[in-house]
């Protein structure tokens, strides 16, 4: 399930409110953008149960935080609050609980104003880099750029920029 979310062609925003321990943190990790309420709590507690994280945290935490911090979170099995999650880049934003829905909605609306083909290709290129070496990933990025450059959305985006107006993307 987490891999399907991570590689879903559309951008996925995690809206995190309250406790996200174990699988909750792992689901958040596979999302593209993670926005947390200030009351959010994260942690990988599985080793304390004689298990290891089972939905990809051993890999995604390394990718997001680096080996040292990933080991600390998983091996010590400690909980961290939203501010610490932000400090270590586990989440991209922390907001008051009362502002969470509006903040996530604003991010979603901003995404809706972007070129859908470009969003899909950018996500694909970013995800590929996390899986492959730099040269292979740069080649894929170049292919994605070339594809995006020849879309109607790109033409519309450049035209709108020059005309100082909001683009009307069609996903083509």
Catalytic residue ranges: 26, 46
3-state SS class at 166: coil
Phi, psi for 134 (deg, rounded to 5):
-60, -45
Residue 43 near residue 23, CB atoms below 8 Å: no
CA nearest neighbour of 47 among 21, 80, 20: 21
Q: How far apart are CA 162 and CA 91, in angstroms?
A: 35
Phi, psi for 14 (deg, rounded to 5):
-90, 125
CA nearest neighbour of 79 among 30, 34, 38, 45: 45
3-state SS class at 71: helix
């Amino acid at each position: 399930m987490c891999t399907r979310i991570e590689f879903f062609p559309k951008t996925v925003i995690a809206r995190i409110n309250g406790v996200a321990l174990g699988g909750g943190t792992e689901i958040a990790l596979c999302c593209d953008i993670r926005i947390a309420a200030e009351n959010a709590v994260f942690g990988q507690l599985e080793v304390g149960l004689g298990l290891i994280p089972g939905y990809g945290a051993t890999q995604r935490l390394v990718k997001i935080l680096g080996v040292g911090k990933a080991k600390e979170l998983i091996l010590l099995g400690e909980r961290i609050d939203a501010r610490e999650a932000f400090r270590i880049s586990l989440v991209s934003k922390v907001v008051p609980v009362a502002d969470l829905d509006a903040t996530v909605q604003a991010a979603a609306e901003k995404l809706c104003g972007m070129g859908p083909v470009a969003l899909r290709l950018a996500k694909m290129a970013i995800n590929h880099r996390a899986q492959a070496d730099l040269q292979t990933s740069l080649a894929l990025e170049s292919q994605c750029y070339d594809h995006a450059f020849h879309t109607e959305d790109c033409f519309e985006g450049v035209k709108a920029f020059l005309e100082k107006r909001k683009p009307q993307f069609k996903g083509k």
